[in-house]
Structure 1
Amino acid sequence: MNTSRIFTACHCVLAGAILFSPLAIAQDLEPLPASAAADGDTPEKVELGKKLFFDPRLSATGTVSCNSCHNLMEGGDDSRATSMGVNGLTGPRNAPTVWNSVFQASQFWDGRAETLEEQAKGPMVADVEMGMVGHDQVISRIKEIPGYVDEFAAAFGNGNGVTIENAVKAIAAFERTLITPGSALDRYLAGDTRAMSEAQARGMELFESVGCVECHSGPALNGWHPASDAEFVEFPRYNDLSYTSKYDLETDRGRSKASGDDGDDHHFKVPTLRNITLTAPYLHNGQVPSLDEVCRLMAETQIGVELTDAEVADLVAFMNALQGEFPEITLPRLPVRSGETVIHDSKSFTVGNE
């Protein structure tokens, strides 16, 4: 059933209320926190994590870093449908943005990692990503670089040294600095009624009235709140054959591949909508090329609503109000082993006990 006309009638009535009560229709939205630091995130730990994030030597071929797939110089992704790892290999899923990734209760599209630290371990030893034989190989390579040994000691104490646990703690500490508050929406929610245009305000009202906030609520517009449990949503909920076949929405089983529970078939983590204008292409498989198209698709497959062109334009305008202020990031100077490479044939490495 085409229910968009019902919601449009509500939209027309409520739109006028925006002028008198700018927060009356924003009950499910919250400003993004200005800080996400955890206890123990020292400047030394953050700086070490930054270097590890940008260092391609954590990959088997010395060509792929965390930043390769999560480019901090743009949207925190790589603008590809699926990312390219070592030796030109590609995986099955689109790289989520790392910006504001701290504001979610699980990591990866299927939520198989609960924390940023746990997530950071995965790509290093994934054969289609960074391709290391095991975490022992990662640590062995880092230990070959004297500057890193010194920096681990400075960040974690002389008695701790270079371990995979400390490496991912440092990366996570750096990632907790990757937040983008101060968007037009944030300023609007703080009481600046001029921060958003009329089209953006209409789009926000439509976003709430048609039910997008059922999943995309809270400060990151992904359902996350402090200490909230990870939640996964069936996708597609309504099997619209035109979209299902066009964008291959049936192949990936989603959460069930990680959980082993068939009841999780086609369930995925709700992604953040912060900076969504910078992270095309869209969906878990990166098959949808444009924001207006993904708005139509999500409306029809998730809430059974067919949007008009004007409604799509307002929603896209609202999405533009979600782009925040990015912190200035300078590329780090990486420590090296003087006069000698640390990139060796990964196939000759034997994994020991971690």
Structure 2
Amino acid sequence: MRKSALLALLLVSGVYSKDGSDKDLLEKARQFFSPLPKSFPSEENPITPEKVKLGRLLFFERRLSVNDMISCATCHAVEYYYASPAPKQMGALKLQPRHAPTVLNSAGQFVQHWIGNRKDVEDQALQSLTGPPALGNPSRESAEEKLKSIPAYVELFKKAFPKDKEPITAENIAKAIGAFERTLVTPSRFDEFLKGNTKALTEEEKKGLKTFIEVGCVSCHNGTLVGGTMYQKFGIYEPYWKYTKSESIDEGRYAVTKKEEDKYVFKVPPLRNVAMTPPYFPDGSVTSLEEAVWIMGKVQLGKDLSKQQVRYIVAFLKSLTGRLPEEARKPPILPP
């Protein structure tokens, strides 16, 4: 067989890559990424089966809201990979100021919310009890009293927090929901690749991974979650709204810190399951993943990515779509 014909055969079969071996790509990828753990543990809130069982119920519990209409799952819906399909979701009393991202794998982030005003998933759950764009209760005590009136929850809280004299507290509500969210881990074929199975990704996905690294996406989107590890200005090279056509301009962390340098700064979102969780960006202004990738090239990297580069990157991003844990695939039956 001629050398050129053999090379063509090896390229088609995936045994050989003219852009470098799979082993080289794997070693390069391991410099930036690592596989997902089985859960995201917390010293302050140890995960127990009893907490997780209770937290799963509370996550879907509409009676936890002021009007019995809203639950965590309203904005983080199972059928949308625990995210919202709306640019901005309506809470119990008020429209949310930003797009509700997925809570899958979110416990692994360094902070919660687009502007980092929640330190962890427990803090996020606790603040949601009284937040008008969330559950909207007039006080934490009112949420506690509702659950105390439901016999099944009284027993479930006793089992989840056996050492507490009064188990049903706002803090324990948050701990239970947090424990559940800490188990929402979705491993994908990319994790198999990182563990050494270079056949886990297609050739196009490997080209996408290579492109993702080479053009500079990896400078912000790295780590276990492919993001969620830092803050960054949205619009380094050009104003983001020039391309997103946003109806209003969000000043990001400036709302928290009031520091000029924090204008338009947001938490870098994780890209796990990104293909399943449109729309994109803090205001949910873009519905197409391809368009979102191209916009990021323009405003974050100062590059006009080609259609081929965008196609490759999107192929790689789709390999980050993971498997939902069995207990997270459908809503539970709630206590009467």
| Distance verdict in 2 for CA 1:81–1:105, change over 3 Å | same
AA of the residue aligned to 2:166: N
Q: Secondary structure at the match of 2:78?
A: coil
1:221 aligns with 2:226: yes
Tell me, what secondary structure is at the counterpart of 1:268?
Answer: strand
Aligned residue for 1:113?
A: 118
Structure 1, unaligned runs of 5 or more: 1-13, 225-230, 337-354
Change (3 A) 1:20 1:129: closer
Q: Which is worse superposed, 32-41 or 145-154?
A: 32-41
Kept after mapping to 2: 8 A contact 1:18/1:24 = no
User: In the alignment, which residue of structure 1 is the partner of 2:33?
Assistant: 29
Query: Deviations 1:201-224 (Å, cap 9, x if unpaired)?
Result: 011011011111110011101153
CA contact (8 A) 1:70 1:97 kept: yes
Distance 2:295 2:21 in 1: 27
CA drift of 1:128 comes to 2.7
TM-score by length of 1: 0.84
1:79 is the counterpart of 2:85? yes
In the TM superposition, what are the counterparts of 1:258-273 in structure 2 within 5 Å?
258-273=256-271
- Deviation (angstroms), 1:298: 0.5
Taking the aligned partners of 1:17 and 1:312, their CA distance within structure 2 comes to: 20
1:3-18 paired onto structure 2 within 5 Å: 16-18=19-21
SS in 1 for 2:28: coil
Instruction: Give SS of 2:107's match.
Output: coil
Pick one of 296, 309, 316 that aligns with 2:314.
316
Shift of 1:19: 4.0
Q: How does 1:299-310 map to 2 (within 5 A)?
A: 299-310=297-308
1:163 to 2:169 alignment: yes
Q: Which residue of 2 aligns with 1:342?
A: none
* Cα 1:17/1:236, change in 2 over 3 Å: same
Mapping 1:220-299, distance limit 5 Å: 220-222=225-227, 224=229, 231-240=230-239, 243-244=241-242, 246-248=244-246, 251-299=249-297
Q: Deviations over 1:181-205 (max 9, x none)?
A: 1x12111111111111111101101
1:188 counterpart = 2:193? yes
User: Which structure 2 segments of 5+ residues have no match?
Assistant: 1-16
Alignment of structure 1 residues 337-352 onto 2, 5 Å: none
Match of residue 66, structure 2, among 57, 60, 73: 60
- Report the equivalent of 2:12: none
Aligned in 2, Cα 1:248/1:184: closer, same or farther, shift over 3 Å?
same
What are the equivalent positions in structure 2 for 1:105-184 lying under 5 Å apart? 105-157=110-162, 159-181=165-187, 183-184=188-189
CA deviation profile, 1:253-281 (whole Å, cap 9, x unmatched): 11111223232111000111000000000
Aligned equivalents of 1:137, 1:281: Cα separation in 2? 34
Aligned length: 314
Q: 1:246 to 1:32 in 2, by over 3 A?
A: closer
Task: Tell me, in whole angstroms, the C-alpha distance in 1 between the residues paired with 2:18 and 2:290.
Answer: 21
Does structure 2 retain, via aligned residues, the 8 Å contact 1:15–1:205?
Answer: no
